[in-house]
Chains A and B, each alone.
Chain A
Amino acid sequence: MDITLNGEAKSLHASVSIQQLLDQLSIPSGRVACEVNLKIIKRANYPTTFINEGDTVEIIQAIGGG
């Protein structure tokens, strides 16, 4: 299954939830925001929101800045 993740093409073996994707990437869910096709997914819904073929997913964080 092919998706676009943070602007880059990525293949997933199977449909996964946002939570599973974050776990696979070793990203703690408490410090990010996730968007699927421009829609923000609330943190509480990460386990129940599944990523589909062709989705555009963004995983966003806070970094140093002024």
Chain B
Amino acid sequence: MTNDFSLSIAGITYTSRLILGTGKFKTFELMLEALTAAQPGMITVAIRRVNLNNKGSQSFWNFLPKNIPILPNTAGCYTVEEAIRTARLAREVLETNLIKVEVIGDLKTLFPDVVGTLEATKVLVKEGFTVLPYTSDDPIMAKRLEDAGASTIMPLASPIGSGQGILNPFPVSLIIQQAKVPVIVDAGVGTASDAAIAMELGAAGVLLNTAVAEAKDPVLMAKAMDLGVRCGRTSFLAGRMPKRQMASASSPVSGMINV
């Protein structure tokens, strides 16, 4: 059954509008506890070589909740070719057509190379992938990605892992208003109120990782993110009051006893 806290992408319904990353947790145990607390609609993973000298990394699998769909990413790819190759490998490892496409343009900001992102999206859509591209907050590029067959648009709120929150709500809001596919705010969320703000702008979902993994108490922050997303979604549906320049008394101005 769908409710308003569920997220629909390319005809598939996910049980939460929160998508959580699995990187940077101090231990796999802590990661599992955080994922269990947040109950995200999807969890993201990266695709890398098996470390032949330390196979401990394989036990990562044993700490993933079995009931949450997995969204692999092409994180760390700087070229279209690398991203496409990684997507194909991800499909083979995970037996999923879902792919979060990242083509990174710059090491310092991790801003997306949007030209490369668009190119990779076109190729992967043709190959039958459900493409969720990480992109800039440029509404024109968002439109181009949508036209290319992207199943979501995932604009950044601020640089990946920066926790700076939604630095530029206006273009994100424009993307949300024009898009016919779900818009998921991806990257930059630092705390639960940031997630709520994204949802209040009308985003269909929020994708985050570092804000939970690097919180003092990741499990508690995971729970807060779940609440933040629900809170923001509910607030969006409720419809905020218009802003006024000056005060407007909440109590009646007539019937004062000292007049």
Q: Which residues of A contact B (CB under 8 A)?
A: 5-8, 25-28, 31-35, 38, 40, 42-43, 58-66
Residue-wise, chain B 14-55 has the 8 Å CB interface mask toward A (1 for contact) of: 000000011111001001000000000000111111101001
CB nearest neighbor in A for B161: A66
Are B52 and A66 closer than 8 Å at their CB atoms?
no
Among A31, A32, A64, A66, chain B packs the most CB atoms within 10 A around the CB of A66
Docked complex: B202-223 residues within 8 A CB-CB of A: 207-210
- Can you spell out 12 A-B residue pairs with CB atoms less than 8 angstroms apart? A6-B52, A31-B93, A33-B92, A42-B92, A61-B49, A62-B61, A63-B46, A64-B23, A65-B44, A65-B46, A66-B208, A66-B209
Partner of A60, one of B24, B48, B208: B48
Partner of B57, one of A26, A35, A42, A63: A63
Are B60 and A64 closer than 8 Å at their CB atoms?
yes
Chain B residues contacting A7 (CB-CB under 8 Å) are 49
Chain A residues contacting B45 (CB-CB under 8 Å) are 62-65
User: B73: CB under 8 A from chain A?
Assistant: yes
Chain B residues contacting A40 (CB-CB under 8 Å) are 88-89, 92
Determine chain B's interface SS by DSSP, over half rule: mixed
User: Considering the chains assembled together, what is the distance between the CA atoms of A62 and B57 in angstroms?
Assistant: 9
Are B49 and A60 closer than 8 Å at their CB atoms?
yes
Are B52 and A31 closer than 8 Å at their CB atoms?
no
CB nearest neighbor in B for A10: B52
